[in-house]
Amino acid sequence: MMSELLLLSGGIDSICLAAWCRPACCLTIDYGQLSAGAEFTASEQVCKALGLKHTTLKIPIERLGCGTMIGDAPISASPHAEFWPFRNQFLITLGAMYALRFGHTKVLIGTVLSDRRHADGHPSFVKGIADVVRAQEGAIEVEAPALQHGTVELIELSGVTSDVLGWAHSCHSGGIACGQCPGCRKHSEVMAEIGWNR
């Protein structure tokens, strides 16, 4: 029997996956990002509202970070201000470790169509990391259920309600939305498109 673990960041896409997939457990990770506290709060409230199990890990690697998520200048390896080297690979690995240790068989990640602007948002990356994790002892599966969907479409598919999605924290640069970073801009655009802005 498949037991799913969702990597829940507290952002729009992962909240929609929580509502849509109803995983056995949601895991939020503080890896040293500036927005960790707000992500923990958002994830905890979402899981409480949806009646889902929520757990957290703190594995600080801020010395290895860069860009807006750590409050530093971006590096030349990527044109994206929020780039943090190998961050998603690291988080998926932690998710797989947690899943194997605590009896889950699949890790769900919140990759959506717009994430293809990043190398680790491409279907080829998702397939590659899934193959690597599956090849190891434990044969944990990695899946991105919304890989072929945009965020607005995912909101509709998930049936998430405004009171649950209202907890979403998308800012890359801190616990209060800056309104300027890529996460805040996406949040504003999505909310305006679905008509939930007040």
Residue 198 has pLDDT above 90, yes or no: no
Distance (Å, whole) CA 155 – CA 165: 9
Model pTM score: 0.94
Q: Which CATH class is domain 4-194?
A: alpha beta
Residue 151 has pLDDT above 60, yes or no: yes
Residues 28-78 have pLDDT tens digits of 999 999 999 999 999 999 999 999 999 999 999 999 988 889 888 888 888
Residue 165 has pLDDT above 60, yes or no: yes
Sign of CA dihedral 144, 38, 53, 49: negative
Q: Are 115 and 146 in contact (CB under 8 A)?
A: no
Residues 75-97 have pLDDT tens digits of 888 888 888 899 999 999 999 99
Q: Are 108 and 18 in contact (CB under 8 A)?
A: no
Distance (Å, whole) CA 133 – CA 187: 31
